[in-house]
Amino acid sequence: MAAQIHEAHRQTEHRIWDPDAETLPREDIEALQLERLRELVTRVARVPFYRDHFAHREIGPHSIRSLADVRRLPLTTKDDLRRQHPFGFLAVPRKALARIHGSSGTTGRPTFVAYTARDLETWSNLCARFLVAGGLRPEHTAQVAFGYGLFTGGFGLHYGIERVGAAIIPAAAGNTRRQIEIMRDLDPEVLICTPSYALTIADSARELGIDPRSLPIRFGHFGGEPWTEDMRREIEDQLDIAAFNNYGLSEIIGPGVSGECPERTGMHIQEDHFLVECLDPETLEPVPEGEPGELVITTLTREAMPLIRYRTRDIARLYREPCACGRRTTRMSRVTGRTDDMLIIRGLNVFPSQIEEALLRVEGTTPHYLIEVSRPGTLDEVHVKVEIRPEIFSDRMDRMQTLCERISREINTVAGIRAHVDLVEPRSIERFVGKAKRVLDRRDLGE
Of 288, 321, 338, the position where a domain reaches its end is: 338
Q: What is the pLDDT of residue 444?
A: 67
In the predicted model, what is the mean pLDDT of residues 46-54? 96
Is 447 part of any domain? Answer: no
Instruction: Count the neighbouring beta carbons within 10 Å of the beta carbon of residue 61.
Output: 12
* pLDDT confidence bin for 334, thresholds 50/70/90: very high
Q: What is the pLDDT of residue 353?
A: 84
d(C-alpha 74, C-alpha 55), whole Å:
12
Number of domains in the chain: 2
3-state SS assignment for residue 244: strand
Is 59 part of any domain? Answer: no
Closest CA to 389 of 138, 203, 236: 203
Q: What is the pLDDT of residue 391?
A: 79
- Residues 127, 173 within the same domain: yes
The answer to whether the CB of 317 falls within 8 A of the CB of 293 is yes
The enclosing domain of 351 has a CATH number of 3.30.300.30
Is 350 part of any domain? Answer: yes
In the predicted model, what is the mean pLDDT of residues 103-131? 87
- Residues 391, 286 within the same domain: no
The answer to whether the CB of 281 falls within 8 A of the CB of 339 is yes
Of 304, 338, 372, the position where a domain reaches its end is: 338
Of 321, 338, 355, the position where a domain reaches its end is: 338
Is 200 part of any domain? Answer: yes
In the predicted model, what is the mean pLDDT of residues 176-197? 96
Say yes or no to pLDDT of 393 above 80.
no
Say yes or no to pLDDT of 20 above 70.
yes
Q: What is the pLDDT of residue 211?
A: 98
Is 43 part of any domain? Answer: no
CB-based burial label for 324 (10 Å; 0-12, 13-18, 19+): exposed
- Residues 207, 272 within the same domain: yes
Is 85 part of any domain? Answer: no
- Residues 239, 381 within the same domain: no
* pLDDT confidence bin for 108, thresholds 50/70/90: low
d(C-alpha 396, C-alpha 408), whole Å:
19
d(C-alpha 218, C-alpha 273), whole Å:
30
pTM for the full predicted model: 0.83
pLDDT digit string (tens) for 337-387?
888 777 888 878 888 888 988 998 998 888 889 999 998 877 789 999 999
- Residues 355, 291 within the same domain: no
d(C-alpha 130, C-alpha 445), whole Å:
41
Closest CA to 282 of 236, 315, 249, 324: 315
Least confident of 1-10, 51-60, 89-98: 1-10
- Residues 330, 394 within the same domain: no
pLDDT digit string (tens) for 258-288?
999 999 999 999 999 999 999 999 999 999 9
pLDDT digit string (tens) for 310-319?
999 999 999 9
- Residues 226, 352 within the same domain: no
pLDDT digit string (tens) for 399-408?
889 999 999 9
pLDDT digit string (tens) for 217-244?
999 999 988 888 989 999 999 999 999 9
Say yes or no to pLDDT of 3 above 50.
no
In the predicted model, what is the mean pLDDT of residues 207-225? 96
- Residues 159, 280 within the same domain: yes
Say yes or no to pLDDT of 1 above 70.
no
Positive or negative, the CA dihedral 303, 315, 149, 139 is positive
The enclosing domain of 284 has a CATH number of 3.40.50.12780
Instruction: Name the average pLDDT for the chain.
Output: 91
* pLDDT confidence bin for 40, thresholds 50/70/90: very high
* pLDDT confidence bin for 14, thresholds 50/70/90: low
- Residues 250, 357 within the same domain: no
Q: What is the pLDDT of residue 342?
A: 78
* pLDDT confidence bin for 106, thresholds 50/70/90: low
Q: What is the pLDDT of residue 376?
A: 86
Is 88 part of any domain? Answer: no
In the predicted model, what is the mean pLDDT of residues 52-73? 94
Q: Is the peptide bond before 86 cis (omega within 30 degrees of 0)?
A: yes
Is 31 part of any domain? Answer: no
Q: What is the pLDDT of residue 423?
A: 92
- Residues 143, 230 within the same domain: yes
Q: What is the pLDDT of residue 225?
A: 84
Say yes or no to pLDDT of 8 above 70.
no
The answer to whether the CB of 355 falls within 8 A of the CB of 393 is no
Range of the domain at 229: 2-26+114-338
3-state SS assignment for residue 260: strand
- Residues 172, 313 within the same domain: yes
- Residues 254, 393 within the same domain: no
Q: What is the pLDDT of residue 13?
A: 59
Q: What is the pLDDT of residue 75?
A: 98
Closest CA to 224 of 202, 201, 257: 257
How many helices (H) and strands (E) are present in the chain, helices listed first?
Answer: 12, 21
Say yes or no to pLDDT of 132 above 60.
yes
